[in-house]
Amino acid sequence: MDIKMRSDCPISCSLDIWGDKWSLLIVRDLMFSKQCTYGDFLKSDEKIATNILASRLQMLEMNGLITKQDHPESKAKVLYKLTQKGIDLLPIMIEINLWADKYFTLPAERKEILAEVKKDKEAFIKEKTIELQRHTN
Amino acid sequence: MDIKMRSDCPISCSLDIWGDKWSLLIVRDLMFSKQCTYGDFLKSDEKIATNILASRLQMLEMNGLITKQDHPESKAKVLYKLTQKGIDLLPIMIEINLWADKYFTLPAERKEILAEVKKDKEAFIKEKTIELQRHTN
DNA sequence: TATTTGCACTTGCAAAACGCAAGCAAATTT
DNA sequence: AAATTTGCTTGCGTTTTGCAAGTGCAAATA
């Protein structure tokens, strides 16, 4: 599995890494939970297949968006976390949420979070970024 | 070809529509050029296959992101344009560009546009949105 | 008017990616 | 010691992709 760039366009380069149906859902989970085990990802609503999850985690790690860490309480478990490069996807994730808010019916809990975002987007991003960075070792 | 929603998560719903390697490149072309013919899309650097292009255009049209119009000068040609729903992807596209700017080497011409974006993001979005809306009939 | 060219697709087919289920080794629990 | 949990890997059938060639209609050219 290697990285083939289709062009030097930033959109294209970005899509080459996370332009599929699953990668940003993994990033989403990590933004909500700060850290996830392999099993945590499998539990998400969208029901990703285990082999696809493994390949996406490998892809995201190889491209420096996430890191693997030993679980402090168990050698059987692995912790996945966002790197700074992954945390920096936050503004994109927020804009996707705002777009979806305009054109879909969102679950109530997401609407609440988005209300806070709409109040002061910059502040939300700054705060959330720091919060995520705190969990980065 | 129908729309299967994997969950009610806004990220997931969005990816269900344009979460692939090609859709946002079509949107990108339309944001730069305002309107494109089928052949214009084929000419882009990433060299999309013609059958994939046809299926993506159909998907994007079905989901209301783009519209087909008669070419004013020729019945043989078709014009594709962004709808408001498509234009509203602009903030997402901008954030992707800004992310890529931080982690990739961008072509010089893109850097110039991004410099303008960085000066005043809100203003850029507003201005560009109006510019795109002007081409919407 | 006949013919060639351009344009927007469609079709066929091989290769790759996906999705589901089962399997597996190491760690942990019972 | 046996059973369970965890993080994967493997097999395999289905779907999607990518490449090349083909089709039908409009428009330009001879």
Topology given in CATH for the domain delimited by B10-134:
Arc Repressor Mutant, subunit A (1.10.10)
Average pLDDT of every residue of chain B = 96
Distance D16 C1' – B74 CA (angstroms): 34
Above 70 in pLDDT, residue A1? no
Distance C21 C1' – A51 CA (angstroms): 11
Q: Tokens in use for A66? A: 């996430």
Confidence (pLDDT) at A137: 75
DSSP letters for B53-114: HHHHHHHHHHTTSEEEEEETTEEEEEEEEE-HHHHTTHHHHHHHHHHHHHHS---HHHHHHH
- Domain-wise residue ranges, chain B: 10-134
CB pairs under 8 A between A and B: 124
Per residue in A33-87, pLDDT tens?
999 999 999 999 999 999 999 999 999 999 999 999 999 999 999 999 999 999 9
Of A85, A88, A79, A77, nearest to A57 (Cα)?
A79
Above 90 in pLDDT, residue B101? yes
Of A63, A69, A81, A88, nearest to A26 (Cα)?
A81
Q: Is B4 on the interface with A (CB under 8 A)?
A: no
Helix (H, G, I), strand (E, B) or coil at A47: coil
Would you give the DSSP letter of residue B135? T
**Residue B59: which residues within 8 A CB-CB, separation 6 or more?**
B1, B17, B23
Closest CA of chain B from A75, distance in Å:
32
Instruction: State the Rg of chain A over Cα.
Output: 16
Segment 101-120 of chain B within 8 Å of chain A by CB: 101-107, 110
The fraction of chain A above a pLDDT of 90, given in percent, is: 96
Which ipTM did the prediction report?
0.96
Confidence (pLDDT) at B2: 59
Above 70 in pLDDT, residue B1? no
Confidence (pLDDT) at A83: 98
Confidence (pLDDT) at A4: 82
**Residue A5: which residues within 8 A CB-CB, separation 6 or more?**
A12, A13, A16
Per residue in B24-76, pLDDT tens?
999 999 999 999 999 999 999 999 999 999 999 999 999 999 999 999 999 99
Q: Given an 8 Å threshold on Cβ–Cβ distance, is A11 in contact with B28?
A: yes
Residue A70 has phi, psi (to 5 degrees) of -65, 140
Q: Tell me which nucleotides of strand C come within 7 A of a protein CB.
A: 6-12, 18-23, 26-29
> How far is it, in rounded angstroms, from Cα B84 to Cα B49?
27
Confidence (pLDDT) at A113: 96
Residue B20 has phi, psi (to 5 degrees) of -145, -175
Q: Given an 8 Å threshold on Cβ–Cβ distance, is B7 in contact with A46?
A: yes
Confidence (pLDDT) at A2: 57
Q: Given an 8 Å threshold on Cβ–Cβ distance, is A92 in contact with B97?
A: no
pLDDT class for A102, splitting at 50, 70, 90?
A: very high
Single-letter amino acid code for the residue at B77: K
Confidence (pLDDT) at B22: 98
